[in-house]
A and B are shown apart, each in its own frame.
Chain A
Amino acid sequence: MSRGARTRPSTLVGAWVGNGLVTNLGDFESIATTTVGAGGQATITFSSIPSTFKHLQIRAIGRTDRASTLDGFRIQFNNITTTAQYRSHFLGGNGSTTFSGDELNTAGVVNQRFSGATSTASMFGASVIDILDYTDTNKNKTVRCLGGTDQNGSGELYLTSGVWMNTAAIDEIDIVPNIGTNFVQYSQFALYGIKG
Chain B
Amino acid sequence: MTATYEPISTTTLANSTTSQVIFNSFPSTYTDLVIVFKGGASAGTTEFQAQFNSDTGSNYSRTRLTGDGSTAASSRDSGVTFMRFTGVGYLPNSDLNNVTIINIFNYSNATTYKTVLSRLNTPTQETNLMCNLWRSTAAITSIRLFVSANNFYTGSTFTLYGIKAE
- A126, B117: Cβ atoms closer than 8 Å: yes
Residue in A8, A96, A128, A151 whose beta carbon sits within 8 Å of that of B133 in the complex? A151
Q: Which B residues touch A12, using CB under 8 A?
A: 10, 36, 157, 159
Separation in Å of the B108 CB from the closest CB of chain A? 12
- B6, A91: Cβ atoms closer than 8 Å: no
- A157, B131: Cβ atoms closer than 8 Å: yes
> Is A146 an interface position by the 8 A CB rule?
yes
Which of B16-24, B45-53, B86-94 forms part of the interface with chain A? Answer: B16-24
- B103, A33: Cβ atoms closer than 8 Å: no
Q: Which B residues touch A157, using CB under 8 A?
A: 63-65, 74, 129-131
- A124, B112: Cβ atoms closer than 8 Å: yes
Interface residues on A, range: 35 or more
A169 to B129 alpha-carbon distance, docked (Å): 31
| With known contacts A9-B10, A25-B3, A146-B119, A123–B113 Cβ distance under 8 A | yes
Separation in Å of the B13 CB from the closest CB of chain A? 7
- B24, A3: Cβ atoms closer than 8 Å: yes
Separation in Å of the B97 CB from the closest CB of chain A? 13
A79 to B160 alpha-carbon distance, docked (Å): 37
> Is B106 an interface position by the 8 A CB rule?
yes
Q: Which B residues touch A17, using CB under 8 A?
A: 5, 34
Q: Which B residues touch A54, using CB under 8 A?
A: none
> Is A172 an interface position by the 8 A CB rule?
no
- A98, B113: Cβ atoms closer than 8 Å: no
Q: Which A residues touch B135, using CB under 8 A?
A: 122, 152
Q: Which B residues touch A33, using CB under 8 A?
A: 31, 165-166
Separation in Å of the B100 CB from the closest CB of chain A? 10
> Is A95 an interface position by the 8 A CB rule?
yes
B34 to A, closest residue via Cβ: A16
- A59, B105: Cβ atoms closer than 8 Å: yes
Interface residues on B, range: 35 or more
Q: Interface code A115-149, partner B: CB below 8 Å = 1, 0 otherwise? A: 00000001111111000000000000000001111
- B10, A5: Cβ atoms closer than 8 Å: yes
Residue in A11, A22, A96, A150 whose beta carbon sits within 8 Å of that of B115 in the complex? A150
Sort A-B residue pairs by CB-CB distance and give the 6 closest, nearest first: A93-B74, A4-B9, A95-B76, A93-B65, A148-B131, A190-B165
Interface residues of A (CB under 8 A from B): 1-9, 11-12, 15-19, 22, 25-33, 50, 59-61, 91-98, 122-128, 146-153, 155-157, 159, 186, 188, 190, 192-193
Interface residues of B (CB under 8 A from A): 1-13, 18, 20-24, 31-32, 34, 36, 61-66, 72-76, 78-79, 101, 103, 105-106, 109, 111-113, 115-117, 119, 129-133, 135, 137, 157-161, 163-166
Offer 11 A-B interface pairs, CB within 8 angstroms, sorted by A: A2-B21, A30-B2, A30-B4, A59-B105, A61-B106, A93-B65, A93-B75, A126-B103, A126-B105, A149-B131, A192-B5
